Amino acid sequence: MPDTPGGGPRPRRPPTYPGDVPRSPLALAALATVAVPGLDAYDVRRPLEGGSEYDVALVTDAEQRHWVVRAPADAAAGAALEAEVVLLGALAAQVDAGTLPFEVPRPAGFAHLDEGGRAVVHRLVPGRPLRLEELTAGPGLSAGLGRALGALHQLPTSIVENAGRPVYDAPTYRQRRQAEVDEAAKTGKVPNGLLRRWEKKLEDVRLWRFQPTVVHGDLTASHVLVHDGDVSGILDWGDAMVADPADDLAWLLVAAPPDAVESILEAYLLRRTELTDPFLTDRALLAGELALARWLLYGVRSGQQDVVDDAFAMLLDLDEQTTELESVS
């Protein structure tokens, strides 16, 4: 089950590379040598994480430096990659200025593809993927994660706007959520109790009086890198936008150990100067629930019955859990 913004499953498109054949690691290594003059590829392997929008490989050069090469699998991915490259340049400037306390990929070169578009090469960002079970209460990694997200959400929104990424105001974003719920309801697969719960929260205008911020849009444990007990980097910025900051917190509120969540939020709120959003966590929890609706819709639209069945089972479990909690309350 792939990951999505808001802590739930993220739909992935099937490969659309000509002939439905992904580029081999050797082909990607050749692109890296073209993109970065002087790069002498010594070893290449395909990373575990890559999705189907891009062909990705890790290249080691003769000096034992590590490079990541990404080539889009279709025109849509190519356009998204170009926008991401612009954004990464702006984010790197914020890192250099000390505004962001973590590293981001820095494009070092490009190679034009025969079918159009460009492959991009960047140095490997140091660190290993975050393991949620290692988050604990206190001033360590949990607090560092909160500070990192707080710093991200403090960035000027013009950084995303200038990269051509989507920009939403609060009423429009609420309408997007409502449209998701309406479409999911038409499938007949969402329990009535959940629909009533979601509708009630979407109709409560108090929850939706938030200030849109820069958001990563696809934060998961695999996209957050850790080194020496702190956040060292954040990857995969292709879904960045100006939207609800609660979306970037949802996966943590849903999946992180409960005793660590308080430390994450405390550090986050300290970093967010002048933040007045009393319903931030309410929307974050709702975003985590609505991720299941998006997973259901992906299964319906793509005709994948196994995805539909998986989403339906999770929705039933969520309905049972929320019903029990509400009865206790």
169-181 per-residue burial string, b: 16 or more CB within 10 A, e: under 16: ebeebbeebeebb
C-alpha dihedral (314, 282, 215, 232), degrees to nearest 10:
-80
Which pLDDT score is estimated for 307?
94
**CATH, domain 18-125, list 3.40.50.670, 1.10.486.10, 1.20.1050.10, 3.30.200.20:** 3.30.200.20
Q: What is the largest CA-CA distance in the chain?
A: 66
Which pLDDT score is estimated for 250?
94
- For residue range 123-166, list pLDDT tens digits in order: 999 999 999 999 999 889 999 999 999 999 999 999 999 999 99
- For residue range 67-107, list pLDDT tens digits in order: 999 999 888 889 889 999 999 999 999 999 999 999 999 99
How far does Cα 40 stand from its chain's mean position? Answer: 32
Which pLDDT score is estimated for 95?
97
Q: Report residue 5's pLDDT band, with 50, 70 and 90 as the boundaries.
A: very low
Which of residues 3 and 113 earns the better pLDDT score? 113
Distance between CA 308 and CA 314 in Å, rounded?
A: 10
Which pLDDT score is estimated for 48?
55
Which of residues 322 and 248 earns the better pLDDT score? 248
pTM value > 0.85: yes
Q: Report residue 274's pLDDT band, with 50, 70 and 90 as the boundaries.
A: confident
Which of residues 213 and 276 earns the better pLDDT score? 213
Query: What is the number of other CB atoms lying within 10 angstroms of the CB of residue 270?
Result: 13
Which structure tokens are listed for 255? Answer: 């999946």
Find out whether 103 and 155 touch, Cβ atoms under 8 Å: no
Closest CA relative to residue 312, chosen from 199, 198, 194: 194
What is the location of CATH 3.30.200.20 in the chain?
18-125
Question: Is the pLDDT confidence value at 19 over 60?
Answer: no
What mean pLDDT is predicted for residues 229-247? 95
Least confident range from 45-54, 55-64, 178-187: namely 45-54
Which pLDDT score is estimated for 313?
95
